[in-house]
Amino acid sequence: MANKRKKPTTGNGNGNGNGDVNGYAKIDQYDADTVKRIASRYRDVLNDLGEDPQREGLVKTPERVAKALQFLTHGNHLNPAAILRSAMFREEYQQMVIVKDIEVYSLCEHHMLPFFGKAHVAYIPNGHIVGLSKIPRVVDAFARRLQVQERLTVEIRNCIQETLKPLGVAVVIEAQHLCMVMRGIQKQHSIATTSAFTGEFQQDRTRAEFINLLSKRRD
């Protein structure tokens, strides 16, 4: 029953925090052979961890893991620039456009453990605007891959800059990394912040306005 996995996820592109429901809803877009291959390796992994892959709770786990991993990396098959181009409009508006608090769910490429948090994206149009819902979808398309937070931040910035050619782009991501929280370094509440700017956002005044607008969300 499974065949295609290249079909992009639709919707607002924003995580709903409920990966399981999301994942299972997409069940028929997984490639059956790939699921089988990954699952058989995970049976070996379970063995090597001292588990019994045949016990009731684990019988279907390798297949579930295989599908979950495919879902969590499906951004590899998406084209974020095409997502933006699908909703670009000519418009004279030249004030800052900000999309705040975009949910981010990604996997750190060093441990394949989740990192998650919020992205804030701003741009200053230069003849074109983009449908606001596309910004979270671009964030998601880059996040649903094996990533590091720094690269994720820069890739989002570059994609918007190169596609929309605005007067400037700003991207800030605040995220918690489970590889830090759950492993040795138990800094339970530490949050990593990364940022990347182009154009007008490299000027102190514009960047300050952006940061100021971000901090207002907590009022």
If one asks whether residue 108 binds Zn ion (CB under 5 A), the answer comes out as: yes
Q: Which of residues 119-158 bind Zn ion (CB under 5 A)?
A: none
What are the respective helix, strand and coil percentages of the chain, to the nearest 5?
A: 45, 20, 30
Cβ-contact 200, 167 below 8 angstroms: yes
| Catalytic residue selected from 108, 120, 155, 200 | 108
CA distance 20 to 15: 11
Active site residue 177: yes
Query: Is 120 an annotated catalytic residue?
Result: no
Q: Determine which one of 91, 109, 150, 162 is catalytic.
A: 109
| Catalytic residue flag (residue 111) | yes
- Least Å distance between CB 114 and Zn ion? 9
State yes or no: is 108 an active-site residue. yes
Which of 41, 110, 183, 187 binds Zn ion (CB under 5 A)? It is 110
Of 147 and 163, which has the nearer Cβ to Zn ion?
A: 147
Site for Zn ion, residues 54 to 93, rule: CB under 5 A: none
Which region, judged by CB under 5 A, interacts with Zn ion, from 29-37, 92-100, 107-115, 121-129?
107-115
Round to whole Å and give the CA distance between 14 and 178. 20
Position among 154, 179, 192, 213 found at the interface with Zn ion (CB under 5 A): 179
The set of residues, in sequence order, having a beta carbon less than 8 Å from that of 123 and lying 6+ positions away, is: 96, 97, 160, 164, 166, 167, 168, 169, 170
Please name the amino acid found at residue 65: V
Is residue 74 flagged as an active site residue?
A: no
Q: Which of 26, 111, 128, 165 binds Zn ion (CB under 5 A)?
A: 111
Task: Based on the residue annotation, tell me whether 179 is a catalytic residue of this protein.
Answer: yes
Q: What is the per-residue DSSP string for 69-132?
A: HHHHTGGGG--HHHHHHTTEEE----S-EEEEEEEEEEEETTT--EEEEEEEEEEE-SSEEE-T
CB of 107 to Zn ion, least distance (A): 9
Segment near Zn ion (CB under 5 A), from 34-42, 51-59, 137-145, 179-187? 179-187
| Catalytic entry in 63, 77, 111, 176 | 111
Q: For Zn ion, which stretch binds (CB under 5 A), given 54-62, 111-119, 121-129, 150-158?
A: 111-119
**SS3 state at 170:** strand
Count other C-beta atoms under 10 Å from residue 157's C-beta: 21
Residue type, 140: D
Residues that bind Zn ion (CB under 5 A): 108, 110-111, 179
- What are the catalytic residues? 108-111, 149, 177, 179
